[in-house]
Every structure is written in C-alpha cells, then in structure tokens.
A and B are shown apart, each in its own frame.
Chain A
Amino acid sequence: MHRFSRGLAAVFTAAFVAFPTFGLAQQTAPSPSPSPGPTPGPGAISVPFADPYPSTYAPFPSRATLIRNATILTAAGPAIHNGSILIRNGKIAAVGDAGAPADGVVVIDARGKYVTPGIIDIHSHMGDYPAPGVSAHSDGNEATNPNTANVWAEHSVWPQDPQFPRALAGGVTTVQILPGSANLIGGRSAILKVVPARTVQAMKFPGARYGLKMACGENPKRVYAGRGPSTRMGNMAGYRAAWIAAEAYKRRWDAWNASHKGDPPARDLTLESLAEALRGDIYVHMHCYRADEMAQVIDMSHEFGYKVRAFHHAIEAYKIADLLAKEGIAATMWADWGGFKMEALDTVRANIGLVDAAGVRATIHSDDASGVQRLNQEVAKAMFAAKRAGLPVTEDVAIKWMTINAAYSLGLDDRTGSLEVGKNADLVLWDGDPFSVYTHAEKTWIDGALLYDRDDPQQNWKTDFELGYVRSAVRK
C-alpha cells in the first residue's frame, strides 16, 4: 500500500470517506474469512492534513446584489468614497465602480453607509461555552491534563448557541473557536462560518487549517498548581517535553507514510496534533500576555523548528513589537481589557496601533460573546488611542485589524478578509461609520448570501434554544 503520499493526503482523506476499504485495520488484522460487518474506518493511521470530520458547509442561496453610493473600506487599499460593489455567485465580482446593474440584480442604495469585509474573530469560545452558561454547557476547557492536544474544539461546539446569531448581527462572518487556556496545550481549534446549521460540520470553513491552542503564564500554572506545572519554568518544561515526544512521533510516521513498510506506528491523537504543528500543517495560536514570555516561546519555536502563527491576548506585544515583526508572528489583542490578573496589568489602548506600526500583522479579538458583537467599536477605541499616541493610523489601516489581518492569521487571506474581486462575498453593510458608537451592522452576507438583515428581524436566525424562551428577534 503506497497510497499515502504526503502531497495527496487531503485527497486520500476524501477517498477514505468514499472508499472505506482503504482502512488499515484490514491490513494489520487480516481476517481469513471476511465478515459481512461494517468495514473499519481509517482511524488507525496518522497522515498529514487528515480531515476525518470534514466540512459539509454549502453556501446559502444568494442573489446577485449591487451596493451603490457607499463608502467602501476594502482592507486592501484606500477607502473608496461613493463607490459600488457587486456580489455575484457568492463572490465579489466588482469593487469601486461596478457599473450599472444587470437585470435581476438586487440594488441597495448605501448613501451615507459603509461597506466593509465581514469581521473575523480569531479568538472565540462560542459553541464551546454556549449560552445559557449552565454547568452542562461547560465544554471549553478539558482541564484534566496540561497537554490535551488530542481534543478538538469542534467536538464541543453546540451549533444552537444563541451567541452565534448575535455575532453575525455584529457583522462577524468567520470565527476561530479555541479550546480554553487551562492547559499548556489546549487542543485543536475550529474555523467556522457564522451560519445557522444543525451540525458543526456544516459551519466549518472548507479547507481551513486547524489551529493548535497553547497557553502561557498564569492560567495553566494556576489550574495545575497541585500536580504541576506550577511555575512558568514548569510551563516551559511541559511544552518542551511535548515537542520532544512529538518530534519522535513525527519522524516515525513520516517514515512509515513514505514507505508503508511493516506495521504502522501506533496512532496517538495528542502527538498527532503536535506533529502536524511541527510540520506546519496546523497553526500554533498561543495565548501569551507578557513580552518576556513571548520571547521565551519564540526561542522554543526555534529549538523545535516550528512557527507561532499568532500570539493571542498579547497584552505586552507593544514592548516587543520589533521582535514579533522580525519573526513574522501575528499578534491579536483586546482594545483595553486589563487588570484582571498580574500578566494583564500592562494593558494600553495603543497596543494594537503600536504593534501595527512596527510591521506586525495586528488584529483585534474578542474572547467574549458580548465583545464579538462590537469588534468595530473595539477597533475604534484602539484606533483613536493610537492617534492620541501620535501614530498616523487611518481607517484604511484600522479596518485590517478586524478583517484581512485576522484572515491571514487563519491562513484564509486568499479567500476572505478583504473586498477584492474573486474573493468570497463576506461583507457587512453598516448604517454609518463603523468606528462610531452609534453605528449598527445593517446587513451581513456570507458567500454572497444575505444572512442578517436588521430591517427584517423576522427573517433573522433564531436558534433552537431561543424558541419559546427568547421573545424578541435578534436585532443588533
């Protein structure tokens, strides 16, 4: 069996679904007389880019739509005033001067209004910590071991979380759902489109790479104080031990995947996630507040030859913005949360602006189902704080903090995050300047489908949970 070349792994993953007879269990435990029972799946082997819980998302029905007379913040260049944008077949077909509408095109007059890319929040726990926040819904932290790289956030996501439609109503189109930060290595993230669905698979962003959540500092050492790690040096020792084990695992599997000689090594979900991070196939998203800890993690990434894709929370990123720029590591931050623990004491509102100015891909994040609804306001706070600090930040730059830079951090910047021809039509129409406290998201499109409309509350998404409990429709 030489079917599992690395380059074609994704293809073969799809093949597993269609032709389960490729399952390795048959090979390793041959049966003299095949039983008529179900054929084993491919779960015994570890291949790069494995996708055993594939996306079943399909775009919702859409109509060609022309938005005219808008101020367009494209996140790909200067603002376009009094411009138009055409969306067709789920994609952006024209931006700037989209010309006259063809027959059957829905026309929206956006005089006085703004159009931006859909907002992307790369740090969310929606679905894993859904509302209502009852004990039965606490599905975000597998706080049973400091290393749970084996858990996948998507296996906790409740698609009926009422927080999802509220995020959509705030203009949010894509989210990364992360495991919590109790553990040194918390598990895999899920990249979701904010769409109504019966299953999480139907929310999964097709082709998105997994993220691996890791956490620095106070949280893991507090949670594991009794059994360790209980110190920052213990944290570092814990990550390093995990990478060492993962390196060996990766070598074993890479060798076997190349040759398919003999018994395959035993599959280990924890080491598999880590090995994928070492291969660069999934992105490391590391919760890290303090500048000095980020620097330690950077050294560790050199020690083991992997990349940190983004530091999350990054309260002190402004202190080492030059280092982050040199390393090409993105930073995602709050506008002004702080003070809730020692490592969050040095929050400054100019953080995002200072980091951006140093050449780092800077983004806002929410980590909060209320905050996710107002990321435009959070960016406004950060933008004006940056101006007060003397930085020449404009709306053209600030818009990137919640769109294209976030898309980059997820590796999706070729598909979403900016208003450019050919990209997914993920966009928001705002009833005014999105950096004003008084502005609402008026309409949100995902892949060209109008999924939220402030003017049509009865058509808006209401989760199963809300039926019979929540009387008013979601109207941000």
Chain B
Amino acid sequence: MTCAALAALLGTTALARAETVAITGGTVYPVSGPKIAGGTVVIRDGRITAVGANVAIPAGARRIDARGKLVTPGLINAQTVLGLVEVGGERATRNTSARGLVNADFRPWEGFFSESASIASTREDGVTTVGIFPSGGLVSGQAAAMDLADGTAAEMLRKAPVGVVATIVTGPRFTSDVDEMTAGGNDTAAGGEASQPPASRADALAALRELLEDARFYALRRARFDAGTLRGLSASRRALDALLPVVQGRESLIVEANRLDDIDAMVRFARAERIRLVIAGGAEAWKIAPRLAAAHVAVITGAMNNIPETFDTLNQRQENAALLRRAGVEVALVGNAGGGDEEAFNARNVKYEAGNAVAYGMSHDDALRAVTLGPATILGIADRVGSLAPGKDANVVVWSGDPFEFSTNVEHVFVRGREYHDRSRQDQLIERYRHLPRTNN
C-alpha cells in the first residue's frame, strides 16, 4: 500500500469524530424553508445546531468559507441497489432478492455491502443517503434507508423498513435473481401459498388483495395458526407479519406501476384497503396527477424517460415529475433512464435527473426538494435528514455552484456531522493512469 493510500484509509476511518464546524457565507438552501443568502450552518456532535443569516459561531468551530457557494442538505436517492449489487453481471455480488413470490419479510439491508467501491464515488458526488430496494417476486421485500457513512451495514442503517415493495408490472419483473433455484418450488408453504407468478395484472392485483386480507385475518388468529387449525394462507407467517404495518397504515406499500390504469387501480386499491401507497416508476402518473395529490400518493420517478419502451409506458414523458409536483404530489427523483447500473454504480447521477426535471418544467426549488426532503418524506426519515434545520442530523453538502450542473464541483460533504475527503476507487485509477509509463509495462 502506498503512503497516499494509507493516508486515505486513515482519513476515512480513524479521524474525525464529530467536530464543530461553521459553514459561513454561502447561499443556504434549507429546503424546508426559503433560501438564505450569506447564511451560516453550524454542525456540532453530528447534528445541525443552527441555520440562518445571523448565527453566532461557537468558539473553536472550524470555519468553512462558503462565500459564492451553495449549501444544501446531502442528496437522497430514494431508490437504488447501492450496496446490494456490486458487479451486476456477477450473481454472487447481487443481493437484491429472496426466493419466493411473496417476500414481505425479506430484509435486504442485512445483505448490504458496506465496502462497496460505489459508496465513496456516490458520496463524493454529494449523495449522503440512499434508499435500497429489493426486487423480484410479487412482493419483493422491505426497503431501507442507508446513510453513506463509514461503518458496517448495521451502522450505516438510517431506517428500516421504510416500506414494503411490490409490483404489478407483469412479465419478467416477477422473476427474481434466484427464481431458477426455486422454479415451481413452494418450500415454506403452510398451505395455499402463492408459488406461481401472476398470469396477468388483474391476477397480480387479486393476489395483493388476498395478501392484505390474509394479513388481517392472520393477525387476529395467531393462536389458531400455531395450533394448526387455520385455513391455508396466501403467504408465510413471516410475510404476513411483515405486511401488518402496511394494513395498519403505519408503513407504505411501494408499488411499481407504470401504466395509467395500473396506477389508477392501485390508487383505488389503496383507498379501499386504507393503506398508504407510494408509486414507483409511475411512467404515466402525470395523467392523473391531481388525483394522486388528493389521495396523498407519492411518486418515485425519473426525468429522462420519454420512450414508449413497453405497452405500459407508451405515454411516459420527461415532464412527468414536473406535472406531478405542480399538482401537489410529493415526488422523489431517481435515476431510471436505463443503462449501466444506474441504480448502483451511478446512483450518484441523481442530481442530473433533477437538472433534467428542471429542463422539463420543474422549478429548481422543487427539483432540489425531489432529491432531498421529498425522498426523505417518502421514506419516512424527514425528521432526521433531507433538510437543514437545527436538530437534524448533519448530512450537508457545499457546492461550488448549482448542484445540478455538470460544471459544479462538490467541495465539502458531511455525513452525520463528519466531513469525508473521499478518494474513490475511480479517483485512484485516474491518478494511477494520469501519466502513462514510458515503458511498455
């Protein structure tokens, strides 16, 4: 190991317990309130202790001169597979899915890879928290929020679960990474459990309806279940347990749906079942934006999609997020423009999704919200992150300019009050090959 690499290693582990820092003179975007010109943000013991134009700077605070710069909450990418997928093509590094079709009890954060090389490269681009989402099956599992701080997966965990993820997108989406291992299998069934993928979208909706019904039914009859005298249920005991917070309205059901009618059907379903609903994907959500707003259904979507890629997404358009927000819908912008592994390696690019949302009609303030407080609200972590306010955890970024512009540099990144000076794997590769050897070696 080179001296520089050793220093970098120490820099990211040994140093910096929570210090007191005052970021002064910048244009501060609290997101929860109007921007503050020449504002100060004070960070102490991992928390934000003051935000404002006339803030007393604690004695001994390290000062960061942010004049001419922008100060925002650390960005949040609500829907990623960061830490769940390291190298997409290598099955052994994929940890996104569980075996069956109804995996409401699957907790992907327990398989999170805290040493992922993408963590530093994502953080150094200004993203400090990510949602991690399971995939596969009808009910994929539970989502979680992770802070991009050093530590083990358990230490990085911001909150879990933050919702149960399901889909009514038919076809290959029902196939999980491990389906080939369990095709036709039904190894944990207590009787009647779903083992065949839904054959159509109405079939999927019916299966979801039956699941919620069974969750309620089972919750009232646990003793009979344990005694073995209960009728067959459509999912395992643990899956139904995990769905209880959903049927009780304490946790969101996050449903991937793109087609107008699928979204509409889910809104009606959520109303009938009295559950909290978040739509992910939401390609054609703009068509019923006012109804989504009225029903308090949030949408996780992108701003670069305009191709009729499937019969579910014929009318997706780049204005989707702007139209939803204008109607009052809470929006989280995520990278789903396809290509690469947008959801892991390029989770960092969520800021460009926000820039494109502005290019297609969203206000800059709303776009900033859609990558900070919006996703924090949707993931149920807005009490701690996503805005700059006293008492919040200090996930803070200082930018040289507009966060959404390619020309802007990320100058300071704080996660939980600690500043990170990352030298990502990519930075190190550039350094190594910046000057090629004169020999052929």
Contacts of B341 in A (CB 8 A): 338-340
B357 nearest CB neighbor, chain A only: A437
Distance, CA A96 to CA B318, complexed state (A): 35
- From 286 to 336 in chain B, residues with beta carbon under 8 angstroms from any chain A beta carbon are 304-311, 313-315, 317-318
Does A318 count as interface, using CB distance less than 8 angstroms?
A: yes
B387 to chain A, nearest CB (A): 23
Does A146 count as interface, using CB distance less than 8 angstroms?
A: no
Does B337 count as interface, using CB distance less than 8 angstroms?
A: yes
B434 contacts A370, CB within 8 Å? Answer: no
A166-B306, A435-B407 known; A339 and B434 CB under 8 Å?
no
Distance, CA A320 to CA B437, complexed state (A): 10
Distance, CA A166 to CA B341, complexed state (A): 22
Contacts of B309 in A (CB 8 A): 131-133
| 0/1 string, A338-377, CB within 8 A of B gives 1 | 1111101111111000100010000000011111011001
Contacts of A163 in B (CB 8 A): 307
B32 to chain A, nearest CB (A): 24
Contacts of A218 in B (CB 8 A): 89
Does A388 count as interface, using CB distance less than 8 angstroms?
A: yes
A377-B352, A469-B308 known; A337 and B315 CB under 8 Å?
no
Distance, CA A55 to CA B89, complexed state (A): 39
- From 52 to 104 in chain B, residues with beta carbon under 8 angstroms from any chain A beta carbon are 86-90
- How many residues of A are in contact with the other chain, CB < 8 A? 60
B429 nearest CB neighbor, chain A only: A348
A221 to chain B, nearest CB (A): 12
Distance, CA A50 to CA B429, complexed state (A): 45
A454 to chain B, nearest CB (A): 12
Does A321 count as interface, using CB distance less than 8 angstroms?
A: yes
- From 266 to 284 in chain A, residues with beta carbon under 8 angstroms from any chain B beta carbon are none
B352 contacts A437, CB within 8 Å? Answer: yes
Contacts of A321 in B (CB 8 A): 436
A347 contacts B345, CB within 8 Å? Answer: yes
B404 contacts A437, CB within 8 Å? Answer: yes
B87 contacts A381, CB within 8 Å? Answer: no
Does B338 count as interface, using CB distance less than 8 angstroms?
A: yes
A336 contacts B340, CB within 8 Å? Answer: yes
A322-B436, A342-B90 known; A388 and B308 CB under 8 Å?
no
A368-B339, A438-B358 known; A132 and B429 CB under 8 Å?
no
Distance, CA A381 to CA B351, complexed state (A): 12
Distance, CA A345 to CA B434, complexed state (A): 18
Does B349 count as interface, using CB distance less than 8 angstroms?
A: yes
Does B363 count as interface, using CB distance less than 8 angstroms?
A: no
A354 contacts B429, CB within 8 Å? Answer: no
Does A162 count as interface, using CB distance less than 8 angstroms?
A: yes
Among B118, B311, B404, B426: residue with most chain A CB under 10 A? B426
Total number of residue pairs linking A and B with CB closer than 8 Å: 141
B307 contacts A342, CB within 8 Å? Answer: no
Contacts of B318 in A (CB 8 A): 476
Contacts of A466 in B (CB 8 A): 308
B315 contacts A472, CB within 8 Å? Answer: yes
B314 contacts A370, CB within 8 Å? Answer: no
Does A63 count as interface, using CB distance less than 8 angstroms?
A: no
Does B227 count as interface, using CB distance less than 8 angstroms?
A: no
Distance, CA A469 to CA B315, complexed state (A): 8
Contacts of A222 in B (CB 8 A): 89
Among B88, B311, B429: residue with most chain A CB under 10 A? B429
A370 contacts B307, CB within 8 Å? Answer: yes
- How many residues of B are in contact with the other chain, CB < 8 A? 44
A340-B341, A348-B429, A437-B355 known; A374 and B405 CB under 8 Å?
no
Does A384 count as interface, using CB distance less than 8 angstroms?
A: yes
B359 contacts A369, CB within 8 Å? Answer: no
Does A2 count as interface, using CB distance less than 8 angstroms?
A: no
A132-B310, A346-B429 known; A339 and B315 CB under 8 Å?
no
Distance, CA A390 to CA B339, complexed state (A): 28
Contacts of A197 in B (CB 8 A): none
Distance, CA A388 to CA B424, complexed state (A): 14
B404 nearest CB neighbor, chain A only: A437
* Partner of B406 from A369, A389, A436 at Cβ < 8 Å: A436
B345 nearest CB neighbor, chain A only: A339
Does B409 count as interface, using CB distance less than 8 angstroms?
A: yes
A437 contacts B306, CB within 8 Å? Answer: no
* Partner of A340 from B88, B405, B436 at Cβ < 8 Å: B88
A354-B430, A472-B317 known; A334 and B340 CB under 8 Å?
yes
A471 contacts B315, CB within 8 Å? Answer: yes
Does A188 count as interface, using CB distance less than 8 angstroms?
A: no
* Partner of A389 from B311, B405, B430 at Cβ < 8 Å: B430
A358-B436, A438-B355, A472-B315 known; A166 and B118 CB under 8 Å?
no
Distance, CA A334 to CA B337, complexed state (A): 14
Contacts of B317 in A (CB 8 A): 472
Contacts of B86 in A (CB 8 A): 339
* Partner of B314 from A166, A347, A437, A469 at Cβ < 8 Å: A469
B353 nearest CB neighbor, chain A only: A437
Distance, CA A257 to CA B437, complexed state (A): 48
* Partner of B346 from A336, A389, A436 at Cβ < 8 Å: A336
Contacts of A19 in B (CB 8 A): none
* Partner of B407 from A319, A346, A354, A384 at Cβ < 8 Å: A384
A349-B426, A380-B406 known; A339 and B88 CB under 8 Å?
yes
B432 nearest CB neighbor, chain A only: A319
A337 contacts B340, CB within 8 Å? Answer: yes
Distance, CA A338 to CA B306, complexed state (A): 23
Does B395 count as interface, using CB distance less than 8 angstroms?
A: no
| 0/1 string, A437-476, CB within 8 A of B gives 1 | 1111000000000000000000000000110011110101
B406 contacts A377, CB within 8 Å? Answer: yes
A384 nearest CB neighbor, chain B only: B406
Does B255 count as interface, using CB distance less than 8 angstroms?
A: no
A338 contacts B340, CB within 8 Å? Answer: yes
Distance, CA A471 to CA B346, complexed state (A): 31
Contacts of A102 in B (CB 8 A): none
A357 nearest CB neighbor, chain B only: B434
Contacts of B376 in A (CB 8 A): none
A354 contacts B434, CB within 8 Å? Answer: yes
A340 contacts B340, CB within 8 Å? Answer: yes
| 0/1 string, B389-415, CB within 8 A of A gives 1 | 000000000000000111101000000
Does A1 count as interface, using CB distance less than 8 angstroms?
A: no
B406 contacts A337, CB within 8 Å? Answer: no
A370-B339, A437-B352 known; A340 and B407 CB under 8 Å?
no
B305 contacts A370, CB within 8 Å? Answer: yes
B394 to chain A, nearest CB (A): 26
B307 contacts A369, CB within 8 Å? Answer: yes
Distance, CA A162 to CA B310, complexed state (A): 11
- From 174 to 225 in chain B, residues with beta carbon under 8 angstroms from any chain A beta carbon are none
* Partner of A337 from B118, B339, B352, B436 at Cβ < 8 Å: B339
A218-B89, A345-B87, A370-B339 known; A340 and B310 CB under 8 Å?
no
Contacts of B345 in A (CB 8 A): 337-340, 347
Does A241 count as interface, using CB distance less than 8 angstroms?
A: no
Among B87, B307, B339, B405: residue with most chain A CB under 10 A? B307
Q: List 18 additional A-B contacts (Cβ < 8 Å) besides A132-B313, A340-B87, A370-B305.
A: A132-B310, A134-B310, A322-B436, A338-B345, A338-B346, A339-B341, A339-B344, A348-B430, A368-B339, A370-B304, A380-B407, A435-B406, A436-B405, A436-B407, A438-B358, A465-B308, A470-B315, A476-B318
Q: Ordered nearest first, which 7 A-B pairs have the shortest CB separation?
A: A339-B345, A437-B355, A337-B340, A341-B89, A380-B406, A340-B88, A368-B339
A-B contact pairs, 16 of them (CB 8 A): A132-B314, A166-B307, A318-B430, A336-B346, A345-B87, A350-B430, A354-B433, A370-B338, A374-B304, A374-B356, A381-B406, A383-B406, A384-B407, A437-B355, A469-B308, A474-B306
